[in-house]
Amino acid sequence: MRTIVTMARRIVDVLVPVALDQSYSYAVPAGLDVAPGTVVSVPLGARNVTGVVWADNPAPDPRLHNRLKEIGEVVDVPPLREELRRFIDWVARYTLSARGMVLRMALRRGEQLGPERVRAGVRLVSAPPARMTAARRRLLAVVADGLLHGKADAAREAGVSTGVIDALVDEGTLTVEPLPKPPAPPAPDPSFAAPDFTPEQEPAVAAMRAHATSDTFRVALLDGVTGSGKTEVYFEAVAEMARRGRQVLILMPEIALTGQFLDRFAARFGVRPLEWHSELTPRSRARTWAQVADGEARVVVGARSALFLPYADLGLIVVDEEHDQAYKQDEGAHYHARDMAVVRAHIAKIPIVLASATPSVETEVNARTGRYQRIALPSRFGGQTMPQIEAIDLRREGAPRGRFISPPLAQAVRIAVERGEQALLFLNRRGYAPLTLCRACGHRFACTICDAWLVDHRFRNRLVCHHCGFSMPRPHQCPQCGAEDTLAAIGPGVERLQEEAAALFPEARTMVLSSDLITSIETMRAELAEIAEGRVDIVIGTQLVAKGHHFPRLNLVGVIDADLGLANGDPRAAERTFQLLNQVIGRAGREQGRGLGFLQTHQPEHPVIKALVACDREAFYDSEILSRERTGYPPFGRLAALIVSGGERPATEGFARRLAALAPRHEQIAVLGPAEAPLAVIKGRYRFRLLAKAARGADLSSYLRQWMAGAPKPTGSLKLEIDVDPQSFL
């Protein structure tokens, strides 16, 4: 008889940042110290990848035992805390994303996911070498000061390869030393420039301080009109955390636009916060990631992805402009950063603040039912009144043909400019004109691979598809009938509006702000600063200008097409239009004089327009909440969209139909569709949508999981995306 002796090997499950839901088992080599959360390098196929030990595996499949690969090494970064690991599991489960994809967001630092390499420095330590070359001479000139230089930097500066350095190190001319760690960012000083709050603000300040120091999971809605001091008030919560030395995350919908915010933060706390967004250089990403992980970074201001950073001791989350749809990520893992921020706060047992002048309907309902605490700021700071809003009925007072600024609006702009004030003309349409057609034959320029018109961009002199980026030079000749110079621009875009404004007000200085005209965050910030300093009279902008800016001289806002967002069949159209227009008009009259807002509309009797004109926010929420309740839309029910796309129409539609047929029966969940998507073709891919609509209590995630488990996998060019809590219905 043979006795089988097996060495008790420790086995752990490691999650790797690739599009997989399951973790893999690895053996732990003797002497390697790992625990759940340890960041490790493991072999995966032919590569080595950075992964995270997710759990001990006390009872691995014995058949696997001897075939298991071993963990390579432990990466020298703090382990991912349980809090973050649970959050990753939660987000993956809720959004039906692969856990590896969610982990990827947490490990994203620099370009690679691997460990941050300790940067090597070189220093000149002895006399020049015997053998001299031109390359060596250039390099020695760079390091002649005897100071420590970054190895790669020195090579670049001297225009030599790092091999030249290595050879001089071998010969003893240079030594290699690790570059010192960058100094920790200075901590914000809570009493650097604390403001004096007004008696009106005091109750909110007290409530905010109590909220921040509650040491438990609590959600507060900081609710106040634009300019009421919400930022000042939540800075008090940040100050409380700074006193306790805990970390704060401030989420912003559009980090590119927050230059003013960073300055304001510095004015209040004496230091700038750290930023986190997609445009950081790989090196500063790696550095920030490490500083967040070891607790040196105290305050992070970031886009939604900052939610996945490995905070050492997160004490508070603030979600500014919580209603903003930019918080929804619609590629990869489809998650809503505001909702996931609440989840993260819940897991970490910390308070969270949602700030908005126009809360999402979901948040408003939670505040009305008392699940969230409402901390209200009653009015604008400094006695500034809210702008007065008027509708201009385009059916009676429209602009002349081919023009878009109505006579009453033009008159108001003229007066503002004469007074030396600023005016903002708002139109949420990039480019010159949304449609180009041939006057001779009626031909319309459409994208060849999307179901969309090409948008005329005169600054670039091209026709551009806003869905796939396809573009072509603006032709002089109609491709269909061959006629020359017959092409007509139909409808307005911001570029065309600028042309009109310049013609109407030749003395005024105009500026267009539109995301496609911005080359970098820096130019964007510079342009916004120019406006704030008053060097522009008429600003013409898309929704880019709506968000959070403070332009002291701006008193007039004209909305060129208030109906634009109301037209489509999107269940959130009313809410979104209300929020956006409120926010845009809120730019007016923030500092001096009375703000004025004009809404050009064909339907002045529409509830959204009426609520805006009457400044009756409650009326809007009352009617919107009622209608959501009646129709079972969020938050009175939950939705998930399934989007099937593919290169051929019949196969795509067929797959969508098969999915629908396989949907499990459920008393509280209805599956609607498939229907052709409003954007029926994007990038040559046909699109069909299914919508699962669940009653409030139903477990929609489990339902979807069960459905997908029994459904065929998309093959070939077919693709299936699942969007839980969809924001976009296109």
79 secondary structure, DSSP code: P
Closest CA to 50 of 15, 79, 24, 23: 15
The residues near 724 (Cβ < 8 Å, ≥ 6 apart) are: 94, 95, 96, 334, 638, 640, 700, 701, 704
Binder of Zn ion out of 465, 536, 584, 640 (CB under 5 A):
465
Q: Is 572 in the site for ligand ADP (CB under 6 A)?
A: no
C-alpha distances out from residue 708 to 5, 151, 496, Å: 43, 52, 48
Binder of Zn ion out of 197, 470, 633, 636 (CB under 5 A):
470
Contact call for residues 236 and 212 (beta carbons, < 8 A) = yes
322 secondary structure, DSSP code: T
Cα angle: 366, vertex 367, 370; to 5 degrees: 85
**What's the burial of 379, exposed, middle or buried (CB within 10 Å: 0-12/13-18/19+)?**
middle
**What's the burial of 281, exposed, middle or buried (CB within 10 Å: 0-12/13-18/19+)?**
exposed
Pick 590 or 693: Cβ nearer ligand ADP: 590
- Among ligand ADP, Zn ion, none, what binds residue 228 when CB lies within 5 to 8 Å by partner kind? ligand ADP
Binder of ligand ADP out of 381, 426, 655, 703 (CB under 6 A):
381
Cα angle: 291, vertex 292, 298; to 5 degrees: 95
C-alpha distances out from residue 594 to 230, 409, 584, Å: 20, 16, 15
Q: Residues 530-559 vs ligand ADP: string with x where CB under 6 A?
A: --------------------x---------
Q: Is 300 in the site for Zn ion (CB under 5 A)?
A: no
Q: Is 680 in the site for Zn ion (CB under 5 A)?
A: no
Closest CA to 516 of 446, 460, 433: 460
User: Least Å distance between CB 552 and ligand ADP?
Assistant: 9
**Interacting residues with ligand ADP between 229 and 268 (CB under 6 A):** 229-232
Q: Is 577 in the site for ligand ADP (CB under 6 A)?
A: no
Q: Residues 192-231 vs ligand ADP: string with x where CB under 6 A?
A: ---xxxx--x----------------------x-xxxxxx
Q: Is 90 in the site for Zn ion (CB under 5 A)?
A: no
User: Least Å distance between CB 550 and ligand ADP?
Assistant: 6
Tokens of 113: 């996911």
- Among Zn ion, ligand ADP, none, what binds residue 468 when CB lies within 5 to 8 Å by partner kind? Zn ion
Q: Is 730 in the site for Zn ion (CB under 5 A)?
A: no
Pick 293 or 682: Cβ nearer Zn ion: 682
Applying CB under 6 A, which part among 112-120, 191-199, 615-623, 683-691 lies near ligand ADP? 191-199
Q: Is 583 in the site for ligand ADP (CB under 6 A)?
A: no
- Among Zn ion, ligand ADP, none, what binds residue 447 when CB lies within 5 to 8 Å by partner kind? Zn ion
Q: How many angstroms separate the most distant Cα atoms in the chain?
A: 105
User: Least Å distance between CB 688 and Zn ion?
Assistant: 18
Q: Is 472 in the site for Zn ion (CB under 5 A)?
A: no
The residue type at 631: T
Q: Is the peptide bond before 674 cis (omega within 30 degrees of 0)?
A: yes
- Among Zn ion, ligand ADP, none, what binds residue 610 when CB lies within 5 to 8 Å by partner kind? none
- Among ligand ADP, Zn ion, none, what binds residue 633 when CB lies within 5 to 8 Å by partner kind? none
**Interacting residues with Zn ion between 2 and 41 (CB under 5 A):** none
Closest CA to 252 of 298, 299, 201, 194: 299
Which residue ranges make up the site for Zn ion (CB under 5 A)? 447, 450, 465, 467-468, 470
Which residue ranges make up the site for ligand ADP (CB under 6 A)? 195-198, 201, 224, 226-232, 381, 550
